[in-house]
Amino acid sequence: MTERIDRASRSLILSWPALTIVSLVAIPFLLLLQVSVGHHDPSGLWSPGFDLSNFALLADPILLRTLAYSAGLAILVAIVCTAIAFPLTYLITRMPRRRQIAWLILLLSTLSLSEVLVAFAWQVMLAKRIGLSEIFVVLGLLSEPQSLSPGFGAVVSCLIYLVMPITVLLLYPGLSRLDRDLIEAAQTMGASNRMIFLTVVLPMLRGPIISSAILVAVFTIGTYVTPSVLGQPQQWTIAVLISRTALSDGNLPGSAAMALLLLAVTLALTGGTILLGRKKESGT
Amino acid sequence: MKARLVTAGQYVFLTIMALFLVAPMVVVTAVSLNSTRRMSFPPEHVSLIWYGTFLGDAGWRASFGSSLLIAVSAALLAMSIALPLSYAIWRFVSPIAQGLAALAMLPFMLPAVVLSVVYLIFWGWVGHPGRIEDVMLSHAAAFLAVPLVTVGLGFSLIDKSLVEAARTLGADETAVFRSIILPILTPYIVSGLAFVFVLSLNEYIISYMVAGFSVETLPIRVFNSLRLGFEPTMCVGATLFMLVTTGVFLLIAAIGDLPRLLGADRSRG
């Protein structure tokens, strides 16, 4: 009897999640697959069919170069960001609780800023009149004040700013649960701080490091706003091309095919990072 | 001596990082307080004149309003899906619930531009393109993973023997939910709602591709103005947005255990 009620209430409870998830996740993704092989209609729509010519668009050298650039940018940002975020997170987890909370709120506040607002803020900050370039002149890095955007440096700095909080928050649980007894044991045995960091802390955090690097790379490879605001056309990413194909050219099947290509590259990047992590593990 | 040097190095590093994180917010806020139309920092004369202009402009107010409306609806919608699903996963061993949850995690793990193409195509296919509801539903689906994770974390903290005891003593399902489950879950529900709210509030590319021509959210409006050139009211919009989102996180920190929520172990923290 209770078994029966359980089953009935289970279906009742699951009906709303099932309805919404199937119609808002499963169906839209299947539709993407269907549209990628649909016929392109010049009116801006598409008609069902089995047209592989959309994938011929993908052989375009500009598209491939942009894709390679986006992937390279993603890898660069993931590496630089992890290298900065790791020591930062480590230091935060060693702080007293109140200061920890202050840092977490600061990070969450920057995380919650729209990419549009952050890119805009960087544009203001890098403008000639605002003063960052004047600080650089005082430091001897520049000979005279100049606007630092648009440019590759502006794009990379802004992207690192955007992903820094994500990385810190993903590394935070692992680092704050790090077994202190183990570190103390290493210290008593005379290991230097550097040794402890390299042989105790780093290996234990391999999982979170890999997953945060993947998340950062996925975010960066699909970024649209930062390169359009802070970059010149040669710094545009694949996301800019995809949205142009969809909206300016009105070619939905073409943009669907490009989105699938980006998905494939993202999966390859993710898989590659995981494999790299495994390989290192077996190496030590 | 060496230890002191290391500490000084840490101090410098932390200061640089804090400056790096705070600088864009400070610059935008300062420029929003400028009395002239020119973009200059530090402001020549501090004044709230552009706040008046911003609040008096029906276009900016409408953008702020639709952003808030979309964010609140997306958060509630995502929670209405995540809560029963997490409950089902916790209460019954259900492969269907597990499968649905796995599917629901998918959008959050993909580049945003892919999702924007997916939903652009989807709402056109449904025959209901360019509406504000489309953005709400697309955001709810895109960020569904967030409440699933926070509420799931909440359920994992519930002592099942306590629930068994309550049942043995004759409490029915509703009573158990109200008296045991809900009190433990509340902070996780609130934080799940807050995270989706903030993510949706700031999202650009999905809103733009799904309904950018008819619904102008605040990020879309700022982006459009960026193309036309600098306007001091943009800094006002940005500053007000930062205040709203920082306020939300201060609230979470005040009612919940922020380090724990973000995964720290309380016994050590």
DSSP result, B151-176: HHHHHHTS-HHHHHHHHHTT--HHHH
Which of B222, B262, B265, B267 to probe the A interface (max A CBs under 10 A)? B262
Task: List beta partners, residue A40.
Answer: A46
pLDDT single digits (tens) A163-221:
998 889 888 888 887 777 777 888 888 888 788 878 888 888 888 888 888 889 988 99
Read off the pLDDT of each residue in B128-146 and give the average, rounded to a whole number.
92
In this structure, of A174-188, B159-173, B190-204, B211-225, the range with the lowest mean pLDDT score is A174-188
pLDDT > 90 fraction of chain A, expressed in percent and rounded: 19
Residue A16 pLDDT class (50, 70, 90 cuts):
very high
Residue B268 pLDDT class (50, 70, 90 cuts):
very low
Chain A residues with CB under 8 Å of B138 CB are 24
3-state secondary structure of A6: helix
Read off the pLDDT of each residue in B161-181 and give the average, rounded to a whole number.
85
Chain B residues with CB under 8 Å of A67 CB are none
Determine, for residues B141 and A177 on separate chains, whether the beta-carbon distance falls below 8 Å: no
CATH (domain of B79): 1.10.3720.10
Which of A12, A36, A81, A116 to probe the B interface (max B CBs under 10 A)? A116
pLDDT > 90 fraction of chain B, expressed in percent and rounded: 26
Determine contact, residues A85/A167, Cβ cutoff 8 Å: yes
What is the least distance, in Å, from the CA of B117 to any CA of chain A? 7
Residue A142 pLDDT class (50, 70, 90 cuts):
low
Answer yes or no: is pLDDT of B97 > 50.
yes
In a domain, B197, yes or no: yes
Answer yes or no: is pLDDT of A143 > 80.
no
Read off the pLDDT of each residue in A57-85 and give the average, rounded to a whole number.
90
The ipTM of this complex is: 0.81
Taking the CB of residue B47, how many other CB atoms lie within 10 A of it? 13
The pLDDT value recorded for residue B100 is: 94
The pLDDT value recorded for residue A149 is: 66
Residues making up chain A, counted from first to last: 284
Answer yes or no: is pLDDT of B137 > 80.
yes
Determine, for residues B112 and A101 on separate chains, whether the beta-carbon distance falls below 8 Å: no
A107 phi and psi, to 5 degrees?
Answer: -65, -45
Single out the residue of A172, A167, A170, A162 nearest to residue A112, CA to CA: A162
pLDDT single digits (tens) A32-49:
888 888 877 776 677 777
In a domain, B16, yes or no: no
In a domain, B26, yes or no: no
Distance CA(B173)–CA(B181), nearest Å, equals: 10
Read off the pLDDT of each residue in A127-147 and give the average, rounded to a whole number.
66
In a domain, B3, yes or no: no
Distance CA(A254)–CA(B28), nearest Å, equals: 39
Question: Strands A39-40 and A46-47: what pairing?
Answer: antiparallel
pLDDT single digits (tens) B15-34:
999 999 988 888 888 888 88
Task: List beta partners, residue A47.
Answer: A39
What is the least distance, in Å, from the CA of A282 to any CA of chain B? 27
Q: What are the start-end ranges of the H helices in A112-231?
A: 115-126, 132-138, 152-176, 180-188, 193-196, 202-204, 206-221, 225-230
The pLDDT value recorded for residue A148 is: 66
User: From A179, which residue of chain B is nearest by alpha-carbon distance?
Assistant: B268
Determine, for residues A120 and B226 on separate chains, whether the beta-carbon distance falls below 8 Å: yes
Answer yes or no: is pLDDT of B51 > 70.
yes
pLDDT single digits (tens) A244-271:
888 888 888 888 898 999 988 888 888 8
Domain count, chain B: 1
In a domain, B267, yes or no: no
B204 phi and psi, to 5 degrees?
Answer: -110, -60
Read off the pLDDT of each residue in B157-172 and give the average, rounded to a whole number.
85
Encoded tokens for A260? 């699938």
Residue B41 pLDDT class (50, 70, 90 cuts):
low
What is the least distance, in Å, from the CA of B105 to any CA of chain A? 10
Answer yes or no: is pLDDT of A97 > 80.
yes
The pLDDT value recorded for residue B134 is: 94
Of the two residues A96 and B263, the one the predictor is more confident about is A96
The pLDDT value recorded for residue A77 is: 95
In a domain, B27, yes or no: no
Determine contact, residues A231/A152, Cβ cutoff 8 Å: yes
Answer yes or no: is pLDDT of B239 > 70.
yes
Read off the pLDDT of each residue in B96-114 and give the average, rounded to a whole number.
90
| Single-letter code of the amino acid located at A214 | I
Encoded tokens for B156? 């994992």
Helix axis angle for B58-91 and B145-156, nearest 10°, is 40
The pLDDT value recorded for residue A19 is: 94
Size of interface A-B (CB pairs under 8 A): 264
Q: What is the DSSP letter of A41?
A: P
The pLDDT value recorded for residue A133 is: 66
In a domain, B24, yes or no: no
Answer yes or no: is pLDDT of B267 > 60.
no
The pLDDT value recorded for residue B35 is: 76
Tell me which residue range forms the domain holding B113: 57-261
Question: Taking all residues of chain B, what is their mean pLDDT, rounded to a whole number?
Answer: 85
User: From B246, which residue of chain A is nearest by alpha-carbon distance?
Assistant: A109
Determine contact, residues A106/B21, Cβ cutoff 8 Å: yes
In a domain, B107, yes or no: yes
For residue B263, give the nearest of A21, A109, A172 by CB distance.
Answer: A172
Of the two residues A95 and A180, the one the predictor is more confident about is A95
CA dihedral A228, A233, A235, A238 (to 10 degrees): 70
Residue A284 pLDDT class (50, 70, 90 cuts):
very low
Of the two residues A9 and B95, the one the predictor is more confident about is B95
The pLDDT value recorded for residue B269 is: 35
Of the two residues A134 and B131, the one the predictor is more confident about is B131
In this structure, of A114-118, A137-141, A280-284, B130-134, the range with the lowest mean pLDDT score is A280-284
Please tell me the pTM assigned to this model.
0.84
Report residue A23 CA to chain centroid gap: 26
Encoded tokens for A173? 């649980």
